[in-house]
């Protein structure tokens, strides 16, 4: 009996695999040619900016110097970020913003999808109305909400004062304690229709015969939902939550237009803070370091997203 070491076996396999891989690549040369332009474009518009952002994150870019005269500072930008109290304030804001917006949008969207799943008169019209916040421009919505919230002559304040429920208009966006929740409400209003659409699509895949069988077996509405409907929606829920989370981490328009991150940084989230560092203060190096950190977080979320999608595909394949 010949004893083959693990290393030697691996080498043998690699050697036998190489011609096989090359042969397969040659056989699929047309396929590679088809995707080559897309890969080239991705290298230019995605890979290079990522590389450049990582490179810039090791440099200082004072306002009096051009970017080409940047000064190498090693990991100083990362140290400066992690020791800055503003970073932790902005990070906390980002986590609250993302978690609250994602969770509440999902719950509201799911509830709306369940309510609209049953057939009733006017369902189509109601569904169309609920989608409106998602289809209107985020910029327009932000300006409208800014006026609705206006601390001196906003419509909410005017109504509350008129009804005698408040002596003066409430301060929604000019207070450090209320600004973030106020913006989150706007974001949820914008996003829950997306969750509703996703969950509506998911609900349509739940086999009707299973629900009928459960009913025949004596399951009540909650049991049918919990034991039949919900397990079927697990994957679409995961994907929806991940997509919402990524979108919320990347939010810019609503906080930037409505408050510019203020007052006193109370509504700055990562993206708005990065924008201000880069374009307002020209700290391209620090902004790049922030972006690298955000990139790592988003890539992690992306990994789970892809895994969730793969899980879906595997399950579909098993079925």
Partner 1 sequence: MTRSTLGGAVLRGTVSTALMASLMSAPALAAPPVDLSKWSPEYVRSIAGTQDFDTAGDCAKVTPLDYKGRLTFWYQGVFEGDPDLLRQYYKDFFETFRKTYPNIQLEEQALTYNDLLDKFRTALLGNAAPMAVRLQILGGTEFASKGYLQPLKPEDVGYSTEDFWPGAMKAVTWDGVTYGIPTNNETMAFIWNADIFKRAGLDPDKAPATWDDVVKYSKQIHDKLGIAGYGLVARKNAGNTPYRFMPQLWAYGGGVFDEATANPTYKDIELNSAQSKAALQASYDMYVRDKSVPVSALTNQQADNQPLFLAGQLGMMISHPSDYNVMLDLQKKATGTDKDKAQTVIDNMRYGLIPTGPDGKRAVVFGGSNIHILKPEYVEGGKVDEPAAKAIICMWTSPEWSLKMAYAGSNPGNLNGFKTKWMKERLDSIKFLDVTTSMLPYGIPFPALPQSPEIMNIIVPDMLQNALTGAMTVDQAADDAAKKVKDLMGGGL
Least Å distance, CB 297 to partner 1, is: 21
Give every CB contact of residue 309 below 8 A, 6+ residues apart in sequence. 239
Least Å distance, CB 310 to partner 1, is: 38
Residue 188 or 266 with smaller CB distance to partner 1 = 266
Residue 16 or 177 with smaller CB distance to partner 1 = 177
Task: Name the region of 154 (left: φ>0; alpha: ψ -120 to 50; beta: rest).
Answer: beta
Residue 196 or 289 with smaller CB distance to partner 1 = 289
Least Å distance, CB 123 to partner 1, is: 39
Give every CB contact of residue 36 below 8 A, 6+ residues apart in sequence. none
Residue 202 or 261 with smaller CB distance to partner 1 = 261
Least Å distance, CB 257 to partner 1, is: 10
Q: Give the CA radius of gyration of the chain.
A: 26
Least Å distance, CB 58 to partner 1, is: 12
Residue 91 or 151 with smaller CB distance to partner 1 = 151
Q: Per-residue DSSP letters for 277-311?
A: IIIIS--HHHHHHHHHHHHHHHHHHHHHHHHHHHH
Residues that bind partner 1 (CB under 8 A): 60, 62-67, 71, 73, 76-77, 80, 146, 150-153, 169, 171, 173-176, 258-266, 276, 279-283, 285-286
**CA 148 remoteness from chain centre:** 26
Residue 117 or 146 with smaller CB distance to partner 1 = 146
Which residue blocks in the chain are alpha helix, DSSP H?
A: 6-27, 29-42, 48-56, 76-83, 85-117, 123-135, 138-149, 155-162, 179-203, 208-216, 221-224, 230-249, 253-258, 270-275, 284-318
Least Å distance, CB 82 to partner 1, is: 12
Q: Cis omega (within 30 of 0) on the bond before 263?
A: yes
Residue 93 or 229 with smaller CB distance to partner 1 = 93
Distances in whole angstroms, Cα of residue 311 to Cα of each of 238, 298, 304, 314, 315: 10, 20, 10, 5, 6
Least Å distance, CB 223 to partner 1, is: 50
Least Å distance, CB 105 to partner 1, is: 24
Residue 151 or 312 with smaller CB distance to partner 1 = 151
The CA distance from 47 to 32, in Å, is 19
**CA 255 remoteness from chain centre:** 15
Half-sphere exposure of 177 (CA within 13 A, CB side): 2
């Amino acid at each position: 009996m010949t004893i083959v070491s693990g290393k030697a076996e691996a080498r043998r396999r690699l050697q036998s695999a190489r011609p096989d891989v090359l042969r397969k690549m040659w056989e699929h040369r047309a396929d590679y040619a088809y995707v080559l332009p897309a890969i080239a474009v991705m290298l230019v518009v995605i890979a290079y900016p990522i590389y450049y952002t990582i490179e810039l994150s090791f440099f200082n870019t004072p306002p009096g110097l051009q970017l080409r005269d940047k000064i190498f500072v090693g990991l100083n930008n990362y140290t400066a970020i992690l020791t800055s109290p503003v970073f932790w304030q902005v990070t906390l804001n980002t986590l609250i913003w993302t978690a609250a917006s994602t969770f509440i949008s999902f719950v509201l969207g799911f509830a709306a999808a369940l309510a609209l799943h049953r057939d009733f008169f006017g369902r189509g019209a109601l569904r169309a109305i609920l989608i409106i916040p998602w289809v209107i421009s985020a910029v327009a919505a932000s300006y409208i909400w800014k006026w609705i919230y206006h601390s001196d002559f906003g419509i909410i304040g005017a109504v509350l004062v008129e009804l005698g429920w408040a002596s003066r208009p409430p301060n929604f966006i000019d207070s450090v304690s209320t600004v973030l929740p106020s913006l989150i409400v706007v974001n949820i209003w914008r996003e829950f229709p997306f969750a509703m659409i996703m969950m509506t699509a998911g609900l349509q895949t739940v086999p009707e015969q299973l629900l009928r069988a459960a009913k025949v077996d004596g399951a009540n509405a909650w049991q049918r939902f919990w034991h039949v409907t919900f397990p079927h929606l697990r994957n679409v829920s995961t994907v929806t939550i991940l997509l919402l989370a990524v979108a919320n981490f990347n939010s810019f328009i609503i906080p930037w237009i409505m408050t510019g991150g203020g007052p006193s940084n109370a509504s700055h989230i990562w993206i708005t803070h990065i924008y201000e560092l880069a374009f307002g203060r020209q700290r391209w190096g620090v902004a790049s370091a922030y972006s690298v950190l955000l990139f790592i977080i988003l890539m992690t979320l992306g990994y789970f997203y892809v895994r969730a999608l793969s899980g879906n595909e595997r399950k579909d394949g098993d079925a």
